[in-house]
Structure 1
Amino acid sequence: MNTTTTTTTAAAKRSSTLYMVELAMMIAIILLMSFTPLGYLRTPGLSITLLTIPVAVGAIILGPKGGAVCGLAFGATSFYMAVTGSSAFAAALFNINPFGTFIVCIVARVLEGWITGLIFAALYKSPAKKFSYYVASLACPLLNTFFFMGFLCLFFYNTDYIQGIVSSLGVSNPVVFVAAFVGVQGLIEAGFCFVVGSIISKALSVALKRA
């Protein structure tokens, strides 16, 4: 019994250590992408972010909790850009409402990663298992857009700054504003994450013997 208990404890420690190493690697990738051109494709409107890819991979490989932590890392870098002014759009939001900016940047991304992990876990245990990687990789950028724009409208839609953008787009309500503001950028984000995220996460699952 003692030998069995010792073996089980050692295996649990190895598993926990491996999990932490994998999580640290995903966070390092997110940080690297965030502060280099790898993470964003700059456009006149909203930048196209590729950071949903490592968040999706983290959520699939490491589960809902790991996805939430990866989302937190993504959101923390966005909030840092808002505070430091390295993102003009985020900085403008921070100057208007720091708390609202925190929700838009961080809470939205934590929810994105967490729910992506839940979606993958549910599908992986269902008859739709073979689609789980693809659905989760697509869900991540869609959730990012949904929560980001949802919180943006909740906290900032009636501000002069956002109303100025609304007027420039020639729209009249929040739903049309979201569609016009996200536009092609959202589709590109979703496409990139769907293709690259599903390929990487599936390959890693095989390599790590998690499939």
Structure 2
Amino acid sequence: MRKFSTFQITLMSLLIALLVIQTYVPITIFPGAPTITVGHIIVAIGAILLGPSGGLVLGTVWGGLSLLRAFTAPPSPLSVLLFTNPVIALVPRMVVGWSVGWLYQKFQKRIRIPALLASITAFIGTFLNTGLVVLFTYLFFVKNPTILLRDFGQASSTTGLFWLITIMLGANFITEAVTAVVLTPLVVTPMQRIVSRRHK
């Protein structure tokens, strides 16, 4: 993993502090659903500004905080069932952090408008997070869907399990994707000027 400058470490520390705050200030669309998070936006911003290594660090911290909150102060029944599993809590967030940073660097020369590229990569990161959470949840509960379905009055079937996960997390995905697409470039664009000046 690459070494970070003092400025980059300071920036990463600030973003980690924001991740801690957002973890304990949850937003929920409707009762029983997992909370909407701005963690994906914070990680996307960090990944764009610090690269895939910085994004991976932030994604790991975000996943670790989700795991900790699920054990200590869960915001919803579904959060307990999902995010006390280290794979579901950690892996999607780690993938998001690394992927957003890598994709931004990869396509920087092809997409010359930084704000547009930031929006695209933030959307992809949000999609990866939701998609991997759905995938891992299905894989872990497919053999015994009753434990997940009974809290929502659903029949015990793998079909019901799939649609429950898709609907519950899909509602959050729409909101999180829109906020990521809009807010990420608004923050990243001025921050990139600061970062570039620091490295002149």
Normalising to structure 1: TM-score of the pair?
0.79
Tell me what 2:40 maps to: 52
Inter-partner Cα distance in structure 1 for 2:160 and 2:73? 28
Displacement of 1:76: 0.8
Distance 1:67 1:153, change over 3 A: same
1:128 correspondence with 2:116: no
1:89 correspondence with 2:117: no
Larger Rg: 1
Alignment map for 1:27-66 (pairs within 5 Å): 27-35=16-24, 37=25, 40-42=26-28, 43-44=30-31, 45-66=33-54
Distance 1:166 1:200, change over 3 A: farther
Tell me what 1:197 maps to: 184
Tell me what 1:180 maps to: 167
Tell me what 2:99 maps to: 115
1:161 correspondence with 2:147: yes
Mark the runs of 5 or more structure 1 residues left unpaired by the alignment.
1-12
Distance 1:169 1:177, change over 3 A: farther
Inter-partner Cα distance in structure 1 for 2:142 and 2:27? 25
Classify the secondary structure of the residue corresponding to 1:41: coil
Displacement of 1:137: 1.6
Distance 1:116 1:89, change over 3 A: same
Q: Which amino acid aligns with 2:45?
A: V
Q: CA-to-partner distance for each residue in 1:77-103, whole Å, 9 max, x for gaps?
A: 110012224333232347xxx6xx100
Displacement of 1:168: 6.1
State whether residues 112 and 147 of structure 1, in contact with CA within 8 Å, keep that contact through their aligned partners in structure 2: no
Classify the secondary structure of the residue corresponding to 2:154: helix
Displacement of 1:174: 5.9
Q: 2:128 is matched with which residue: 143, 148, 167?
A: 143
Classify the secondary structure of the residue corresponding to 2:159: coil
State whether residues 57 and 201 of structure 1, in contact with CA within 8 Å, keep that contact through their aligned partners in structure 2: yes
Q: Which amino acid aligns with 1:21?
A: T
Classify the secondary structure of the residue corresponding to 1:128: coil
Inter-partner Cα distance in structure 2 for 1:191 and 1:24? 26
Tell me what 1:8 maps to: none
Distance 1:166 1:138, change over 3 A: farther
Inter-partner Cα distance in structure 2 for 1:149 and 1:190? 15
State whether residues 149 and 156 of structure 2, in contact with CA within 8 Å, keep that contact through their aligned partners in structure 1: no
Inter-partner Cα distance in structure 2 for 1:90 and 1:27? 21
Inter-partner Cα distance in structure 2 for 1:156 and 1:192? 30
Displacement over 4 Å in runs of 4+: 168-171
Aligned residues, how many?
A: 189
Q: Which amino acid aligns with 2:120?
A: V
Inter-partner Cα distance in structure 2 for 1:169 and 1:182? 19
RMSD: 2.7
Normalising to structure 2: TM-score of the pair?
0.83
